[in-house]
């Protein structure tokens, strides 16, 4: 079997290492349990290339050179590991959240009921005649109602109600709560930010 490298080279030693039965039979090699043989075996197969260069270096200068390189690499790796461990165990935070609770003013709110005005308060207002004409179901020339009940009749009544808006608002202003809705009629309860809401 051809062997590349000198007598003490890594290649020569790899051939002598008994990892395959055929090599054992061919060379009659029996592994030693001595420290020197264990170190040389490690240097022949380790993935840390600097160690192999140290063990199988041809000259003392090469071994010294690779010893320095390997030592510096080991020290750099150890220092980097220490820095990472210190950073990890310092438990740094990326976000600091600070919550301050302040008193919030209740916003001004306008509620619009589907029924703009109360049926019970229409007496004595312009709305009374419109309601009477709508509920009679007969034709009415004043409001333009045709006979019978239809969707068009209801829509026309709503349009008349909006046209009477200024008069109805004035009537409600003169007698609050008669035609329009009061706070107590619209709300069962109201709480905001821990405080009770009120009309004003």
Report pLDDT digits (tens) over 8-56.
444 444 444 444 444 445 545 555 667 777 777 777 777 777 888 888 8
CA distance 161 to 179: 13
pLDDT at 81: 95
Is a pLDDT exceeding 70 seen at residue 5? Answer: no
* Rg of the chain taking only CA atoms, in angstroms: 50
CA distance 183 to 186: 5
pLDDT at 72: 93
Inter-residue contact 160 to 143 (CB < 8 Å)? yes
Which of these ranges, 18-22, 67-71, 190-194, has the smallest mean pLDDT? 18-22
Inter-residue contact 113 to 186 (CB < 8 Å)? yes
**What per-residue string of b and e applies to 67-91 under the rule 16 or more CB within 10 Å gives b?**
eeebeeeeeeeeeeeeeeeeeeeee
pLDDT at 200: 65
The residue extents of the domains of the chain are 10-89, 119-196
* 90 alpha-carbon distance from chain centroid: 25
Report pLDDT digits (tens) over 72-112.
999 999 999 999 999 889 887 777 788 877 777 777 777 77
Is a pLDDT exceeding 70 seen at residue 185? Answer: yes
What is the average pLDDT score of the chain?
Answer: 76
């Amino acid at each position: 079997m051809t062997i590349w490298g000198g007598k003490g080279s890594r290649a020569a030693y790899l051939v002598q290492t008994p990892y395959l039965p055929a090599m054992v039979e061919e060379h009659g090699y029996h592994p030693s349990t001595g420290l020197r043989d264990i170190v040389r075996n490690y240097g022949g197969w380790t993935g840390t290339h600097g160690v192999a260069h140290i063990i199988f270096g041809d000259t003392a200068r090469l071994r010294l050179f690779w010893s320095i390189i390997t030592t510096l690499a080991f020290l750099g790796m150890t220092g980097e590991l220490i820095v990472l461990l210190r950073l990890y165990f310092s438990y740094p935070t990326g976000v600091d959240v600070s919550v301050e609770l302040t008193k919030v003013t209740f916003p001004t709110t306008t509620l619009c009921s589907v029924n703009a005005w109360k049926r019970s308060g229409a007496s004595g207002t312009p709305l009374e005649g419109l309601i009477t004409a709508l509920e009679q179901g007969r034709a009415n020339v004043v409001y333009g109602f045709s006979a019978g009940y239809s969707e068009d009749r209801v829509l026309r009544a709503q349009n008349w109600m909006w046209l009477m808006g200024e008069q109805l608002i004035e009537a409600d202003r003169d007698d609050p709560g008669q035609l329009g809705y009061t706070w107590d009629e619209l709300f069962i309860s109201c709480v905001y930010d821990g405080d009770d809401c009120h009309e004003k």
